[in-house]
């Protein structure tokens, strides 16, 4: 369970604001940009993504707050009242519009927004300039429909910031809900899931499922934000939950971000290397992490998270004004727990836990449990039929001599879980087959001055739902890949002993997020690739000079739209931006 929260912030914020000077030996690091290196004009920052160009039929501001010196304070909390005038029978989609501005000098910060403890949005901020910066993010929040209808909840936002003589940037944030009515994006509101299963099973596959009837937070008490802080590999944070006995579908949405010594977990060498070289860094424990979820102590699902790079990460010049993939809208991870329902439909309390394999300080994790209820009966029954859920197999190879070496981690897992749930919609069996392969290679050459990380991750998931006659009701296939490659080369500007903290870092980063999801009108394809090259001269954690370019190719295809955008940024400015609604690929 949650421990004392005061202690860790004493520990955490000195790390963020006065980073230790072990830079030469930690592989990747976090920096700030001084004002003189920045754009003198107010500038818009952005994360390249696709949001359909539609006009909202209604909009409603739910938060307007300035985050100044908020360190060690409780989160900002305000009563939420549902904009009933915006909900209509023709509403089809709800987007959350996040707007932020900041001016001055400031580190990037992590932030999240919760409604009644359920996480709606997790984001990180961009580092401001003296002229000021601003950005806008849109996230589809249609799946939280049942929650957004309520008026008995508080809306909470955590953004811990420091404002003093040196760090002057105050983050001004406003959040607005946008409502759309468009037949092309219709989500079957107000229809129960069992009803839609019945209707659609005649015509083939159902469209996207209606939002859950109930969303239960698997989160902390909220005094320091609703996330749990994981600081060691043995930390398992849990919350007891009692779910309605007429639940016939359950999906857990896992929200994660990584910070401190695990901010660049994919570049952490094994402890043996750190000890043997007498290095002064806490960034160890090898380069494998997996976030797992338990019910009553049994692991029911896990995810290797996408490596989001915050705007101060690796080379902050890369991320202005185009931020890294996911930095403004961190991905969450869905786990279909329907096959496990038989375990928790007894009307009793059950413990849901979240932990991080090999995790070190610190991870911010929590989850939303989306539940669909059978409106025609008060109790449904279920049981698990097949269950093949082995532990992840992890293999490690390490070889080093002095500061040079090579470290490899390979992990994979294959699971198959099936279970039936008998409700008014019939006796439905859900079978989920999934697996992933992970490979991470770290190389240190030239006495540790050349460092490379190459990581590959590929996950596949198949969900098959059949009725009691053995007829296929739902079929869904998801495939995800997130490759990453980071190269850094440390060079001394000269051998000036009195200036030995100053060095040049040449850095290349290539990473991508690719997802293909096929199943009825659910189908979509996302391909998002970023390629950054540059160098910077660094003293301590401040960048003194540098050059950087970032190129990004993004494409999104679904049953209704096809969008692609290629962006290039150099030295803080957009130098190329082509977007198109024509597609080369198709689903
Ligand atoms: C948000 O709050 C600020 C300061 O309190 C105020 O100046 C601004 O007008 C508000 N914005 C909106 C849209 O309400
Ligand atoms: C909302 O926040 C207020 C003030 O912190 C608190 O008194 C109240 O109990 C909260 N309401 C809910 C539903 O959590
Ligand atoms: C539902 O179907 C499963 C698998 O076909 C079967 O084992 C189970 O007994 C059925 N449950 C009910 C309540 O009919
Ligand atoms: C390698 O780096 C370490 C630490 O900077 C230094 O003490 C050592 O002399 C270097 N060795 C060589 C061969 O350059
Ligand atoms: C060496 O460092 C001193 C003190 O910072 C500085 O004055 C001098 O210019 C440096 N020399 C070179 C060659 O960079
Ligand atoms: C970084 O990428 C550029 C362009 O692809 C290449 O010329 C350079 O050698 C790379 N730098 C390192 C340190 O690998
Ligand atoms: C983007 O696409 C162009 C044209 O197909 C290609 O030349 C370039 O290498 C791609 N860039 C990235 C970052 O994938």
Cα of 362 from ligand 6 centre, angstroms: 32
Rounded distance between C-alpha atoms, residue 410 and residue 440, angstroms: 6
36: exposed, middle or buried (Cβ count in 10 Å: 0-12, 13-18, 19+): exposed
On whether residue 585 sits in a domain, the answer given is no
**Dist CA 534 CA 549 (whole Å):** 6
Question: What is the predicted pLDDT for the residue at 200?
Answer: 42
| Tens digit of each residue's pLDDT (9 = 90 or more) over 235-245 | 999 999 999 99
For residue 27, pLDDT beyond 70: no
Identify any residues that bridge with 353 across adjacent strands, giving them in sequence order: 238, 294
Residue 519: the pLDDT is 85
pLDDT above 50 for 171: yes
- pLDDT tens track for 50-63: 988 888 999 999 99
pLDDT of residue 89: 75
Nearest-5° angle of CA 62, CA 66, CA 67?
A: 115
Confidence at 216, pLDDT banded by 50, 70, 90: very high
| 209 contacts: CB under 8 Å, gap ≥ 6 | 188, 193, 196, 249, 372
pLDDT digits (tens, 9 = 90+) for 464-515: 999 999 999 889 999 999 999 999 999 877 655 566 678 899 999 999 999 9
Long-range contacts of 49-56 (CB under 8 A, 24+ apart): 49/138, 49/329, 49/528, 49/554, 49/556, 50/554, 50/556, 50/561, 50/563, 50/565, 51/95, 51/138, 52/182, 52/185, 52/560, 52/561, 54/180, 54/182, 54/185, 56/95, 56/178, 56/179, 56/180
Spatial separation of the C-alpha atoms in residues 360 and 353, rounded to whole Å: 17
**pLDDT-derived band at 195, boundaries 50, 70, 90:** very low
Q: What is the pLDDT of residue 496?
A: 57
Is residue 81 pLDDT above 50, yes or no? yes
Q: Which of 2-6, 34-38, 386-390, 458-462 is the least confident region?
A: 2-6
Check residue 19 and give its pLDDT.
Answer: 31
CA nearest 422: which of 247, 300, 203? 247
Distance from the CA of 65 to the center of ligand 1, in angstroms? 8
Which percentage of the chain shows pLDDT scores above 70? 88
pLDDT band at 88 (very low <50, low <70, confident <90, very high): confident
User: Mean pLDDT across the chain, nearest whole number?
Assistant: 88
Atom 13 of ligand 5 has which residue's CA nearest to it?
A: 496
Mean pLDDT, to the nearest integer, of 213-230?
97
For 17, the enclosing helix (H) or strand (E) is: helix 5-17
- Counting ligands in written order, which one lies closest to the CA of residue 510? 7
Please give the helix or strand (H or E) that residue 193 lies within, else none: helix 193-203
Residue 24 has pLDDT above 50, yes or no: no
DSSP state of 324: P
**Closest listed ligand to the CA of 509:** 6
Instruction: Look at 83 and 197; give whichever has higher pLDDT.
Output: 83
Q: Is the pLDDT of residue 208 over 80?
A: no
The answer as to whether 195 is a domain residue is yes
Q: Return the closest-CA partner of residue 325 out of 515, 30, 529.
A: 529
Q: Is the CB of 498 under 6 A from ligand 5?
A: yes
Within 181-309, strands assigned E span 214-218, 228-230, 236-241, 247-258, 290-295, 298-303
For range 353-360, the mean pLDDT: 98
Q: How many residues does the chain have?
A: 587
Q: Which bound ligand lies closest to the C-alpha atom of 221?
A: 2
Residue 40's pLDDT is what?
Answer: 82
Predicted confidence at residue 190, as pLDDT, reads 40
Pairing of strands 133-140, 43-45: parallel
- Atom number in ligand 4 closest to CA 402: 1
Q: Where does the pLDDT of residue 44 fall: very low under 50, low under 70, confident under 90, or very high at 90 and above?
A: very high
568 CA distance to ligand 7 middle (Å):
10
Q: What is the mean pLDDT of residues 98-115?
A: 96
- Name the closest ligand to CA 449: 4
Q: Which residue has the higher pLDDT, 134 or 545?
A: 134
Q: Hey, which residues does 491 pair with through a beta bridge?
A: 504
For residue 535, give the nearest of 317, 240, 374, 236 by alpha carbon.
317
Residue 586 lies in a domain: no
303 phi-psi bin (left φ>0, alpha ψ -120 to 50, beta other): beta
User: Considering only CA atoms, which residue is closest to atom 10 of ligand 3?
Assistant: 427
Q: Give 301's pLDDT tier (boundaries 50, 70, 90).
A: very high
Q: Is 294 in the pocket of ligand 2 (CB under 6 A)?
A: no
pLDDT at 69 over 80: yes
Count the domains in the chain. 1
| Contact criterion met (CB below 8 Å) for 131 and 44 | no
Comparing 184-193, 225-234, 322-331, 452-461, the range with the smallest average pLDDT is: 184-193
CA distance 461 to 321: 35
What was the pLDDT predicted at 206? 41
User: Does residue 504 sit within a domain?
Assistant: yes
Ligand 3 contact, 429 CB (< 6 A): yes
- pLDDT one-digit tens code per residue, 143-159: 999 999 999 999 999 99
> From the CA of 327, how far away is ligand 1's center (Å)?
25
**Which H/E stretch holds residue 202?**
helix 193-203
> Ligand 2 center to residue 334 CA distance, Å?
29
C-alpha 177 to ligand 1 mean position (Å): 16
Gap between the Cα atoms of 328 and 61, Å rounded: 19
What pLDDT does 32 receive?
A: 74
| Residue of 447, 363, 291 lying closest to 12 (CA atoms) | 363
Residue 142 has pLDDT above 90, yes or no: yes
d(CA 400, CA 442): 11
Q: Is residue 587 part of a domain?
A: no
Counting residues of the chain whose pLDDT is more than 90, the rounded percentage is 77
Among 112-121, 356-365, 511-520, name the one with the lowest average pLDDT.
511-520
Confidence of residue 163 (pLDDT cuts 50, 70, 90): very high
pLDDT given at position 15: 30
- pLDDT score for 355: 98
Higher pLDDT, 18 or 430: 430
Of all protein residues, the one whose alpha carbon is nearest to atom 9 of ligand 1 is 64
**Mean pLDDT of the region 93-115:** 95
Q: What is the pLDDT of residues 519-576, one digit of tens each?
A: 866 789 999 999 999 999 988 778 888 999 999 999 999 877 899 999 999 999 999 9
Of 451 and 386, more confident: 451
pLDDT of 348 higher than 80:
yes
Q: Which residues have C-beta atoms less than 6 Å from ligand 1?
A: 61, 64, 174
Give residue 234's domain range.
5-580
pLDDT at residue 43 greater than cutoff 90: yes
Matching residue, tokens 């990453």: 484
Give the separation between CA 95 and CA 311, rounded to whole angstroms: 24
Ligand 2 atom closest to Cα of residue 154:
1
């Amino acid at each position: 369970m949650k421990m004392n929260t005061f202690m860790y912030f004493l520990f955490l914020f000195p790390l963020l604001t006065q980073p230790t000077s072990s830079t030469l030996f930690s592989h990747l690091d976090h920096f700030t940009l001084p004002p003189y290196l920045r754009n003198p004009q107010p500038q818009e920052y952005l994360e390249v993504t696709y949001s359909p160009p539609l006009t909202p039929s209604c909009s409603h501001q739910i938060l307007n707050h300035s985050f100044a010196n908020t360190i060690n304070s409780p989160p900002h909390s305000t009563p939420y009242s549902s904009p009933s005038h915006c909900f209509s029978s023709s509403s089809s989609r709800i987007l959350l519009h996040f707007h932020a501005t900041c001016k001055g000098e400031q580190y990037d910060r992590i932030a999240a927004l919760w409604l009644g403890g359920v996480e709606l949005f997790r984001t990180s901020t961009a580092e401001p300039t003296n002229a000021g910066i601003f950005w806008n993010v849109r996230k589809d929040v249609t799946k939280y429909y049942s929650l957004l209808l309520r008026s008995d909840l508080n809306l909470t936002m955590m953004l811990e910031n420091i404002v003093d003589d040196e760090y002057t940037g105050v983050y001004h944030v406003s959040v607005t809900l946008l409502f759309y009515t468009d037949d092309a994006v219709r989500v079957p509101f107000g229809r129960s899931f069992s009803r839609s299963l019945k209707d659609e099973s005649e015509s083939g596959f159902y469209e996207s499922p209606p939002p859950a009837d109930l969303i239960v937070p698997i989160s902390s008490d909220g005094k320091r934000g609703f996330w749990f802080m994981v600081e060691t590999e043995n930390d398992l944070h849990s919350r007891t939950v009692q779910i309605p006995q007429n639940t016939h579908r359950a999906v857990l949405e896992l929200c994660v971000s990584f910070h401190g010594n695990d901010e660049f977990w994919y570049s952490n060498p094994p402890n043996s290397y750190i000890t043997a070289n007498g290095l002064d860094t806490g960034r160890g424990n090898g380069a494998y992490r997996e976030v797992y979820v338990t019910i009553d102590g049994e692991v029911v699902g896990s995810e290797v998270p996408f490596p989001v790079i915050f705007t101060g990460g690796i080379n902050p010049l890369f991320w202005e004004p185009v931020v890294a993939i996911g930095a403004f809208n961190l991905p969450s991870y869905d786990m279909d727990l329907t096959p496990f329902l038989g375990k928790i439909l007894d009307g009793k309390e059950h413990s849901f836990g979240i932990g991080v394999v090999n995790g070190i300080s610190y991870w911010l994790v929590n989850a939303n449990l989306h539940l669909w209820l059978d409106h025609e009966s008060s109790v449904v029954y279920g049981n698990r039929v097949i269950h093949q859920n082995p532990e992840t197999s992890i293999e490690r190879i390490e070889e080093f001599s002095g500061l040079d070496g090579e470290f490899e981690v390979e992990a994979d897992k294959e699971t198959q879980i099936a279970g039936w749930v008998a409700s008014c919609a019939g006796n439905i069996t859900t079978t989920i087959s999934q697996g992933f392969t992970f490979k991470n290679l770290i190389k240190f050459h030239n006495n540790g001055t050349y460092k490379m990380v190459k990581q590959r991750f590929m996950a596949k998931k198949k969900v098959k739902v059949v009725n009691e006659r053995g007829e296929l009701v739902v079929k869904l296939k998801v495939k995800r890949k997130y490759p990453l490659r980071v190269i850094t080369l440390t060079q001394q500007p000269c051998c000036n002993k009195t200036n030995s903290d100053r060095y040049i870092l040449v850095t290349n980063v290539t990473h991508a997020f690719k997802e293909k999801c096929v199943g009825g009108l659910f189908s979509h394809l996302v391909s998002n690739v970023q390629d950054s090259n540059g160098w910077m001269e660094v003293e301590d954690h401040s960048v003194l000079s540098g050059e950087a370019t970032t190129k990004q190719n993004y494409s999104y295809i679904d049953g209704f739209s096809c969008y692609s955008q290629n962006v290039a940024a150099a030295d803080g400015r957009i130098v190329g931006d082509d977007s198109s609604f024509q597609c080369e690929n198709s689903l």
